[in-house]
Amino acid sequence: MAPTHTTESTRTWLVAYLEVVSPDTLEIVRSRLPPGFVLQAVSDYSDEAALQLLGQADFVLVATHPLPADLISAAHNVRLIQHQGVGYDRTDVDAARAAGIPVALCPEGTTIGVAEHTLLLILAVYRQLLRADASLRAGEWLQFGLRAGSHELAGKCLGLVGFGRIGREVARRARAFDAVVWYHDLLRLTAAEAQALGVSYRSLESLLAEADIVSLHLPSTPQTYHVIDEDALARMRRGSILINTARGSLVDQPALVAALQSGHLGGAGLDVFAEEPPAPGDPLLSLPNVVLTPHVAAGTRDALITKMDAAFANMQRVARGEPPVHVAAESLRDEDAQAAVGLPGGAS
């Protein structure tokens, strides 16, 4: 369906939605469309399906579908590529910039869901939730059988690697559980800010070595790739747990599996993976001390409504001739990205 070209104020704007979602989810997305906008979704994740829409679209709405240069080159009339979230590592931002198409992110709607999911994974690992549920369904009654390996969050040290919007919301919730919260980030809080949030700064090295729980809240950049590698895992205290609701590329997954199998780590809670979805034979799927979810930390109805309202508002800005908000920047400068995670060459 091509857009109806009358005047800029009365024309119909076509939004190409490059995600394959369930009918009820698509209904929510369409229910948030502003007047004058129509939405068409791809039928599958093939490049062919994307190309059919990109050539006609005025706007692109995308979450996980890769947008390499060859697809962007087909987007002749597109005025904005709007991401549904904040991750844009699958979009060729340079190619979009060369084509004069801004790439915008959507931080709205992500923060609360991911923060809550982080606590969900911590508690599920600490209380052996999956084992308790599975054993009960199998006819066992492990009222006392799980106690030796179950833990409380109260009094534990939670180390947050990355302390942006989501990290801060995790900290607020963890403090409500009486956890001790440390953070590591390129941007240090003022003393007053740290006191208000009840957190303390640690270098990455000391945070890994001393925290009971390490939770990752970093973007995916070349500098953060495998920030949790074999050496970092070896530095983590024995019996500690790793939580990742950020990006799978942050963790060397085979090294994590080895650390879990050896017993060096007590467990892990993962919402993101090196390969999504994981291959059927992925060893993570058979480890009893791991809780896995399919990249759904921000996947709530509440978050989707908030995200769609913000995304379509950004498209309306562009349709009015105004600049979009939350435009994706170039990658962090090498030294800044290194400093953010305490890598060699950067301050920690």
Per-residue pLDDT at 287 exceeds 50: yes
Per-residue pLDDT at 258 exceeds 50: yes
Q: What is the CATH number of domain 111-292?
A: 3.40.50.720
The chain-wide mean pLDDT, for the chain, equals 92
Task: Find the catalytic residue in 65, 168, 247, 326.
Answer: 247
- Span 247-263, average pLDDT: 98
So what's the pLDDT on residue 334? 35
So what's the pLDDT on residue 330? 46
β-strand partners of 160? 183, 215
Per-residue pLDDT at 341 exceeds 70: no
So what's the pLDDT on residue 87? 83
Per-residue pLDDT at 10 exceeds 80: no
The model carries a pTM of 0.87
- Span 218-227, average pLDDT: 93
So what's the pLDDT on residue 5? 47
pLDDT band at residue 282, thresholds of 50, 70 and 90?
very high
In sequence order, what are the residues at sequence separation of 6 or more whose Cβ sits closer than 8 angstroms to the Cβ of residue 229?
A: 252, 255
Task: Find the catalytic residue in 276, 301, 322, 333.
Answer: 276
Fold (CATH) for 13-109+300-338:
Rossmann fold (3.40.50)
Known catalytic residue at 295 = yes
| Dist CA 269 CA 245 (whole Å) | 8
Per-residue pLDDT at 65 exceeds 60: yes
Task: Find the catalytic residue in 32, 217, 295, 326.
Answer: 295
So what's the pLDDT on residue 309? 98
Q: Detail the DSSP E strand segments found in 29-109.
A: 37-41, 59-62, 80-83, 103-104
Domain with CATH 3.40.50.720 in the chain: 13-109+300-338, 111-292
- Span 260-267, average pLDDT: 98
- Span 223-248, average pLDDT: 97
Per-residue pLDDT at 179 exceeds 70: yes
CB 220 within 8 A of CB 249: yes
